[in-house]
């Protein structure tokens, strides 16, 4: 595994608070509680680089991690979290809209889905939005450790068909076993070097 130097920069509640940077940025988005922050921790090989919670809604703001002084990973709150107040929902919507529509250096969406479940309408909306913005897109199916081996092929096919993404562009992942860590780093590096422009 290649060593990556990862530095947590800041947690920003609004687009105006985001770090000024022209480094290419990769945003990790997905349903609440799907395992986005755990995936970041697995990637950077630390337990608490990003906050992980047993209850949905743990990540509240836009969290910036600088990698190798070359690019940023951004951990954002999950969508589809039912137990937010109306005011919080509005703030969440404004923060995400502000980020996606104003962040000039945003290069790619890493969409995290749960290996076990059919992606939701929110997931489809998210990926279609990224397509409209002509962002590179990568899909990571996490919590693979919770799946029965005999069901893997069927589950992955369902993810591929629902999101309209080729099977080969879906990374198998588990923050517990660390499966997928190397593939995800490689894919990020490839996108960065534009060796493969994964515009799916």
Give residues in contact with ligand GTP (CB under 6 A): 30, 32-38, 52-54, 56-59, 77-78, 142-143, 145-146, 174-176
Q: Which of 66, 166, 155, 79 is nearest to 117 (CA)?
A: 155
- SS3 category, 29: strand
- If the CB atoms of residues 79 and 192 are measured against Mg ion, the closer one turns out to be 79
Name the residue with tokens 């096919």: 157
CB 26 within 8 A of CB 77: no
When CB distances are held under 5 to 8 angstroms depending on the partner's kind, the choice from Mg ion, ligand GTP, none that residue 143 binds is ligand GTP
Minimum distance from residue 167 beta carbon to Mg ion (Å) = 27
- If the CB atoms of residues 38 and 160 are measured against ligand GTP, the closer one turns out to be 38
CB 175 within 8 A of CB 39: yes
When CB distances are held under 5 to 8 angstroms depending on the partner's kind, the choice from Mg ion, ligand GTP, none that residue 188 binds is none
When CB distances are held under 5 to 8 angstroms depending on the partner's kind, the choice from ligand GTP, Mg ion, none that residue 187 binds is none
Minimum distance from residue 194 beta carbon to ligand GTP (Å) = 28
Minimum distance from residue 175 beta carbon to Mg ion (Å) = 11
Paired with 183 in beta bridges are none
């Amino acid at each position: 595994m290649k060593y990556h130097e990862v530095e947590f920069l800041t947690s920003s509640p609004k687009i105006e608070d985001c770090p000024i940077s022209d480094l290419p940025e990769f945003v990790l988005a997905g349903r609440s509680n799907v395992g986005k922050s755990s995936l970041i921790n697995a990637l950077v090989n630390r337990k608490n680089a990003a906050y992980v919670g047993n209850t949905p809604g743990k990540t509240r703001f836009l969290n910036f991690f600088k990698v190798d002084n070359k690019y940023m990973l951004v951990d954002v709150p999950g969508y589809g979290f039912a137990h937010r107040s109306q005011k919080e929902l509005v703030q969440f919507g404004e923060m995400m809209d502000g980020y996606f529509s104003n962040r000039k250096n945003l290069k790619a969406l890493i969409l995290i889905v749960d290996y076990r479940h059919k992606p939701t309408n929110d997931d489809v909306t998210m990926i279609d939005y990224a397509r409209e913005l002509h962002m590179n897109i990568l899909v990571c199916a996490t919590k693979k450790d919770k799946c029965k081996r005999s069901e893997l092929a069927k589950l992955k096919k369902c993810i591929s068909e629902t999101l309209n993404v080729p099977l080969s562009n879906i990374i198998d992942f588990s923050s517990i076993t660390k499966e997928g860590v190397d593939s995800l780093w490689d894919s990020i590096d490839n996108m960065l070097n534009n060796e493969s422009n994964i515009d799916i």
